[in-house]
Copies of this chain bind each other. A is one copy, B any other.
Amino acid sequence: MRIDGRKQDELRHIKIETNYIKHPEGSVLISVGDTKVICSASIEDRVPPFMRGEGKGWITAEYSMLPRATEQRTMREATKGKVTGRTMEIQRLIGRALRSVVSLEDLGEKTIWIDCDVIQADGGTRTASITGAFVAMVLALGKLLEKGSIKKLPIKDYLAATSVGIVDEIGVVLDLNYEEDSKANVDMNVIMTGKGQFVELQGTGEEATFSYAELNELLAVAEQGIQDLIQKQKEALGELAQHIE
């Protein structure tokens, strides 16, 4: 039995509030249980210097946590004067994941800036960020579509992420909260598309290892969770969902 009473393959309660803040072209507040992330998507009409003149767009992501998103106050990275390795890893992961389902050619020479700011953390902040950021990005692209700046959504497929892990005495579990995550022997983040293709797979056993059989079990549970998350994304997008094949 899991700490919060969930079944092994059960997601936490998911809520995606769209247009949560007024300035960005697209924004959501995504809640995955007690994990809450403001995701916003900003469109800029140019690309970084290394991509100019190629006729393609770019997507870049930043991630941060409020100091008291966590149980113990975390020092601000701005105060430290540098971004930690963990943050950089997450930022790179979010950007890479989103780029895998966007046709950068169809986007044209624009940059989509994704900002994921965790206001409350209870495990799974990077996967919630990806799931929420996908919706914010589609909302922002929807604005471009409405204004006629693009002719169709440059989106190739849905994209969502979740975590799976192996916890002593329970086994494989889906969508770990903070307490489960800190006890898990194996922790795996899975990012998949609506068609069930892998985009990214990151499995690690900090002081443990895992077998081929366990890997298969983890992936099966993850796949189901991701399909449920994509269903929530479709509901949040409403009419816009029809523009994604």
CB distance from A187 to the nearest CB of B (A): 11
Which B residues are in CB contact (< 8 Å) with A205? Answer: 100, 198-200
Size class of the A contact interface (CB-based, 8 Å): 35 or more
CB distance from A151 to the nearest CB of B (A): 21
Q: Are B85 and A92 in contact (CB under 8 A)?
A: yes
Q: Are A197 and B219 in contact (CB under 8 A)?
A: no
Q: Are B70 and A119 in contact (CB under 8 A)?
A: no
Point out the residue from B40, B92, B100, B157 that lies within 8 Å of A66, measured CB to CB: B40
Residue interface mask A84-100, B partner, CB < 8 A = 1: 11111101100010011
Chain A contact residues: helix, strand, loop or mixed? mixed
CB distance from A158 to the nearest CB of B (A): 12
Q: Tell me if A109 counts as interface (CB < 8 A to partner B).
A: no
Which interface residue of A78, A86, A206 has the most chain B CB atoms within 10 A? A78
Point out the residue from B68, B84, B209 that lies within 8 Å of A198, measured CB to CB: B209
Residue interface mask A219-234, B partner, CB < 8 A = 1: 1000000000000000
Q: Are A68 and B88 in contact (CB under 8 A)?
A: no
Contacts A42-B68, A78-B87, A100-B208 known; 13 new A-B pairs at CB < 8 A: A21-B69, A42-B67, A67-B113, A85-B91, A89-B89, A100-B205, A119-B119, A157-B209, A198-B203, A198-B215, A199-B205, A201-B204, A201-B215
Q: Tell me if A131 counts as interface (CB < 8 A to partner B).
A: no
Which B residues are in CB contact (< 8 Å) with A119? Answer: 21, 38, 117, 119
CB distance from A112 to the nearest CB of B (A): 11
Q: Tell me if A62 counts as interface (CB < 8 A to partner B).
A: yes
Q: Tell me if A211 counts as interface (CB < 8 A to partner B).
A: yes
Top 4 A-B residue pairs of the complex, sorted by shortest distance between their CB atoms: A85-B88, A197-B209, A77-B78, A24-B68
Point out the residue from B73, B83, B88, B209 that lies within 8 Å of A100, measured CB to CB: B209
Which B residues are in CB contact (< 8 Å) with A209? Answer: 100, 157, 193, 197-199
Which B residues are in CB contact (< 8 Å) with A199? Answer: 204-205, 209
